Structure 1
Amino acid sequence: MSAAAGQITVPDRLTRSITAADPDGADRWLAGLPALVAGQLTRLGLTPDRVLDPGGSLSLVVYVHREDDLSPAVLKVSLRTPGTAHEPEALTTWAGRGAVLLLDAATPDPATTVLLLERLHGEIPLRSLAEPKAMLEATSLLHRLWVPALPDHPFPALTATALLARPLPAGAEALPVEAEPLLTEARETADALAASAAEEFLLHGDFHHGNVLAADRAPWLAIDPRPLVGERAYDLARLVLDRADTLVGSPGVPAAVRRRLHQLSEALDVDRERLRGWTLVRAVDLALAALTADRRSDAELYLEFAGAL
């Protein structure tokens, strides 16, 4: 192992999430990660500052300086999944307009994507603002990211078959009684919405306050897209679910949810009923993901939000 590789420590969170995402290949990918990162540092002429811990859920994130001009940057080495596979193409399409700027991209092996990115202020997410101000900034940014998909785009299409694919785990009988009917309704809603969509935009795919960071060349920029092509209501639905704990904890939850749906649909000229439907789908999907990760309290939170819809 090179000296540079010896400086690379894989965060525990990344080990757990990679193991959950790819149980068969996780050990091999994680074992080779320090040497792979060291090779990319050499290839790109980078000096590492520090590894971010916890960093990304599917990526090792290293703060670096470029050796040619000492400018700060970020090296992101990710497990390549269907959700992350087209991140370089999305960042190239946006070209820094509303999103972090891509400086270099490589695929050293079929399981890995390497990105060199401009450095943002990782310690200042949009979530650090009060909710009304954060929502205003988020909608302005999301409007910039939504660009019509070109005919020859490389991105996957939004389809119902890719959603709600996680089965309810063992012990589902301990869930709130509304879980099963909500899951059934969400699947039916996803089928109906996907079949009737009438627009094709490049979507961020995972747009929420935690995936927006303060920057120098713009107040706020988006990071970590899971790009796909589909209707805007799907993307906006993830933002509706932001700070769900605050909304669910407020008096009159159904009325509070309706107000947020109305405000966001009006702000971005998105059909309110389609936004409600996609929000239901994404809330149940997030609940299933939380159950898979043994985060039962998060699952119950998203199910309660879905029930309020």
Structure 2
Amino acid sequence: MQDVIEIPARLIRNHSEKASDWLDGLPMDVERYVGEWDLTIDGDVLSGEASLIVPVVRRDGTPAMLKLQSVNDESESEALALRTWNHDDVVEVLEDDPATSTLLLERLQPKTLDDLPDDIEATQILAEILTHLMVVPAPPGVRRLADIAGQMLADAPAIIPLLVDPAERALSRRLADRMAEVLPEPGDRLLHWDLHYYNVMAADRQPWLVIDPKPLAGDPGFELMPAVWNRWQDLVATGDVRQAIRNRFDLMLDVTGIERDRALAWTAGRILQNVLWFTEDGDTRIEDELKTVADALLA
């Protein structure tokens, strides 16, 4: 079995430093779950940014995907979230092992919303899906947006000064202040956290199904940033990136009915979250794309 499984280079690049033991154990883990769940490997392994995906077939002939990932705050509630949302909106969990966050998932078609040529159509579909997800209360045990946002505000005073540009430091403080305004009412809906075009795939039983949540309990306004920021090349192609960002944001609001001021405040939080992450990793300037989104929506 170990000779069959070749770990994709992207997964090695992303995890060789922080999760080398997990990487080293993947071939044996695949062998374990193929045996325990009575599976047959059915193609070349695939990789997300943080998971190994193995096409398999179940004993009854049903095609499926075996997903192996390291256990962390993002992965440990994935199966719970997928089983909490309506079955018609998300990929089905066929088997799972909570101890390792390993999942056996329904096999979907190799097509995502990113493959649709028209980004406006893709955004419309994404927004319609969000309207279904955002009404579901978060189950007990899911991470809370209140805790994550509170920690961001606690960390910001030490991290923001690492930015070399005074204007970028001032922007980051404004982002923190804007998010702080809505933190007292953080919400209780089941959030995906990473709802963008690659994480919605075509299926046989429904046109589109959601995959790969990083579950949170919180305000749906926190969900909009990935839809705004992804498919950046389509925004650039319009010739007016800032207006295209506003148009995409407005479309999401029009379809979902999310209240604008709260959406803007939580989007400020999402931008700040990325600024803090990148700065902690050694960046001393804010990415141009993040600054453009901030300027388009929050100036």
Alignment equivalent of 2:57, drawn from 58, 65, 78: 65
Contact 2:85/2:136 (<8 A) preserved: no
Q: Residue 232 of structure 2 aligns to which amino acid in structure 1?
A: A
Q: Mean Cα displacement is larger for which, 96-105 or 293-302? A: 293-302
Q: Residue 234 of structure 2 aligns to which amino acid in structure 1?
A: T
State the Cα deviation string for residues 78-114 of structure 1 (Å, max 9, x = none): 1111122100100111252211000011034xxx311
Question: Shift of the alpha carbon at 1:263?
Answer: 2.1
State the Cα deviation string for residues 222-280 of structure 1 (Å, max 9, x = none): 10000111111111233232323432564444433333322221211111122122222
The equivalent residue for 1:238 is: 226
Contact 1:97/1:144 (<8 A) preserved: no
Q: Residue 11 of structure 1 aligns to which amino acid in structure 2?
A: P
State the Cα deviation string for residues 199-239 of structure 1 (Å, max 9, x = none): 42111111000111111110000100001111111112332
Contact 1:18/1:79 (<8 A) preserved: no
Number of equivalences? 292
When you count strand as a share of all residues, which structure comes out higher?
A: 1
Q: Residue 112 of structure 2 aligns to which amino acid in structure 1?
A: P
Q: Residue 105 of structure 1 aligns to which amino acid in structure 2?
A: D
Residue 74 of structure 2 is aligned to residue 83 of structure 1: yes
State the Cα deviation string for residues 11-46 of structure 1 (Å, max 9, x = none): 1211222246xx2xx222211111011101110111
Percent identity for Structure 1 against Structure 2: 30
Q: Which runs of 5+ in 1 are unaligned?
A: none
Alignment equivalent of 2:113, drawn from 114, 119, 126: 126
TM-score calculated relative to the size of structure 1: 0.84
Contact 2:163/2:284 (<8 A) preserved: no
Alignment equivalent of 1:140, drawn from 123, 128, 152: 128
- With over 3 angstroms needed to count, the CA separation of the structure-2 counterparts of 1:262 and 1:107, relative to structure 1, is closer
TM-score calculated relative to the size of structure 2: 0.87
Three-state SS of the structure 2 residue aligned to 1:47 is: strand
- With over 3 angstroms needed to count, the CA separation of the structure-2 counterparts of 1:233 and 1:170, relative to structure 1, is closer
Alignment equivalent of 1:101, drawn from 84, 88, 92: 92
Question: Shift of the alpha carbon at 1:131?
Answer: 0.8
Q: What is the RMSD computed on CA atoms of the aligned residues?
A: 2.7
Q: Residue 72 of structure 2 aligns to which amino acid in structure 1?
A: T
Relative contact order, higher structure (CA 8 A, sep 6+)? 2
The equivalent residue for 2:183 is: 194
The equivalent residue for 2:23 is: 30
The equivalent residue for 1:304 is: 292
Contact 1:126/1:209 (<8 A) preserved: yes
